[in-house]
Amino acid sequence: MSEDLYLAMDLGGTNCRAGLAGLDGRLRNMRRMATPDLASPRDFVSALADFCRLVMGDVRVQSFGLGVPGAVEAAGRIAFSPNLPQLNGLPLALELQELLGMPVRVVNDANAIAVGEACYGAGRELDSFLTITLGTGVGGGLILRRRLWEGPDGTAGEVGHLMVEAEGRSCACGSRGCLEQYASGPGLVRTYRELASAVAGAVAPGPASGEEVAQAAEGGDAIALASLGEAGRRLGQVIAGVANLLNIDGVIITGGASGHLPLMLPALHQELHLRAFATAGRRLAIQPGMLGDGAGLLGAARLAAMSPTHFSVNDEPLNS
């Protein structure tokens, strides 16, 4: 008997990646393309559908799971995307379903990552945990008692928009001082520039990305090290609050910028120790993700395999 396969896609601000996933946790037919122009929603959806057909080829798939950077309502309509506002209000699941003739499940990309790590990665042994995805933004996905907690409006788990500085940097979500503005790649660059100008006045441009800040830190650049320490401190503040609120088992840190984690961990643990209840803080395992950028695709496929009317992950434990 041939294995059931699901189409999975991750829609990013710059690139879209897609592939076919079985429930064995393996990805096949992986492809990547530049994110289509968002100026015309009709052309955008049609370009996504063409990409889906290319990835599927002659393979028959059961359904399609699509991770998007935004809050997604139950019917697969994108309610709010801080970093891709052109998607706001787009009934993406319905439109793709009509074009492709198969069930489509649209999910928040960070929630898809949480489900992927829960089923196949670092979260397999954890009952309740949070994933924090560090990249261009800071995403979050919450698994409680082996179920994805999305909330009635699909906005749960958004740790990137918890406040760490009351009058801090303004954020695309409309608030100020959100964690995302300090712990994302662009946030790191901004911290570096602020610290550099405080030390030396007018300075050379300095690192242009989170990766470049990390490279400078590994080369011994004191300002880069301090910038990563600052991001770690802010992450630790938020994680301590999460520990006190939810008393979960772990935090899994993933995403492009999570490679800098070792340089952020000392400040992170210091804040966690200072601020969390001792028992809740001790229980919390802080660990990197295991699946890299496959987590979101595997999680989207897993969610697509569930009944579209059922908005917890499934009725069974995720790792059964």
Q: What residues line the site for Zn ion (CB under 5 A)?
A: 161, 171, 173, 175, 178
What is the nearest approach in angstroms of Zn ion to the Cβ of residue 178? 3
Q: Which DSSP symbol is given to 241?
A: H
What is the nearest approach in angstroms of Zn ion to the Cβ of residue 163? 8
Dihedral over Cα of 30, 35, 36, 40: its sign: positive
Please name which of 196, 194, 170 lies closest in space to residue 181, comparing C-alpha atoms. Answer: 170
Going from the C-alpha of 53 to that of each of 8, 15, 56, 96, 299, the distances in angstroms are 12, 17, 5, 11, 20
Nearest residue (CB) to Zn ion, 118 versus 171: 171
What is the nearest approach in angstroms of Zn ion to the Cβ of residue 181? 7
What is the nearest approach in angstroms of Zn ion to the Cβ of residue 161? 4
Query: Which of 158-196 are b and which e, b meaning 16 or more Cβ less than 10 Å from the residue's Cβ?
Result: bbbbbbbeeebbebebeeebbbbbbbbbbbbbebbbebb
HSE, side-chain direction, 13 A CA sphere, residue 269? 11
Q: 298, 27 in Cβ contact below 8 A?
A: yes
Q: 95, 78 in Cβ contact below 8 A?
A: no
What is the nearest approach in angstroms of Zn ion to the Cβ of residue 69? 13
What is the nearest approach in angstroms of Zn ion to the Cβ of residue 222? 29
Nearest residue (CB) to Zn ion, 178 versus 213: 178
Nearest residue (CB) to Zn ion, 164 versus 264: 164
Nearest residue (CB) to Zn ion, 107 versus 178: 178
Please name which of 3, 1, 18, 13 lies closest in space to residue 301, comparing C-alpha atoms. Answer: 18
**DSSP 3-state of 35:** coil
Nearest residue (CB) to Zn ion, 103 versus 210: 210
Nearest residue (CB) to Zn ion, 61 versus 171: 171
